[in-house]
Amino acid sequence: GWRWCGRRCGGGGGDDADGSVDGDVVTHPGMTRMDEPGPELLEWLVDPADLTTLEDLHGEHTTGAVHRALYCGLEVAVKVLATAGDLPGAAKSRLGAETGVLANLEHPNIVELVGLQIDKHMVSLVMEWMERGSLFSVLHTTQGSMGWHLRLSLAHDAATGVHFLHSQTPPIIHRDLKSPNLLVNRDWVCKVTDFGFSRELEAMAAANTRVGSPAWVAPEVIAGTPYAEKVDVYGFGIVLWEL
């Protein structure tokens, strides 16, 4: 799969004119000591020299810029979560550990995290590229041509991905399950994205504790009362209504 995170595409050791390599892990001049959370992060750090931006995307219901890019010859999506200066110290200290957790979630219905790009200007996630975009976009552009077999298949994919998250120890609760956070690839496979720490980073950078879009969010989340995995079932129910 995508296990090139934090390493040069060509591998190998030694020094590099644009950065340094320590055990095949790349640091680069754009980084500062403030941007160095530790070895956990370095394992997943993507060198900007290996990324070539192809186009800027402006997706619906997204809070950060998204770019389509090439990484080691394969298409990826680069999502800007926040400017580095906007992140509190607590967020930076958790960055490496949380990135490792998310990057090791391997499932056919979870959008794969390739790695993390961080410098003195911004923090970005490098993720698997999903050619057809969000389920929200698909439903609003191909509504008349989608048969029920495809609709049921997309719903099953989404449910399977969420079940996988809930099966982790401890369970991973999405809290913002909605059609814009379900992506569809070229083969019409639906995958869950925008969960876990990536969403928390965006919220912290915006100094905003509210989660998600109200149309999809369970009442207990909006009210700030205790909740569990069932809040994702509520969001999935709205997605089924959309389908």
- Domain residue ranges in the chain: 20-128, 133-192+213-242
CATH number for the domain whose boundaries are 133-192+213-242: 1.10.510.10
Q: What is the pLDDT of residues 107-131, one digit of tens each?
A: 999 999 888 887 666 778 899 999 9
**Cα 129 from Cα 148, distance rounded (Å):** 26
| 176 annotated active-site | yes
* pLDDT for res 214: 80
Q: What is the pLDDT of residues 171-223, one digit of tens each?
A: 888 888 999 999 999 999 999 998 765 555 555 444 444 556 788 988 888 88
* CATH tag for 20-128 (out of 3.40.50.300, 3.40.228.10, 2.70.70.10, 3.30.200.20): 3.30.200.20
Residue with tokens 């050619």: 131
Q: Which long-range contacts (CB under 8 A, 24 or more apart) does 21-27 make?
A: none
The CA-atom distances, in angstroms, between 121 and each of 87, 237, 238 are: 11, 39, 37
| Mean of per-residue pLDDT scores for the chain | 75
The CA-atom distances, in angstroms, between 241 and each of 14, 90, 151, 162, 212 are: 55, 38, 11, 17, 18
Which of 35, 176, 194, 232 does the annotation list as catalytic? 176
Query: Tokens at residue 67, please?
Result: 């770019």
Residues 34 and 85: beta-carbon distance below 8 Å: no
Report pTM: 0.76
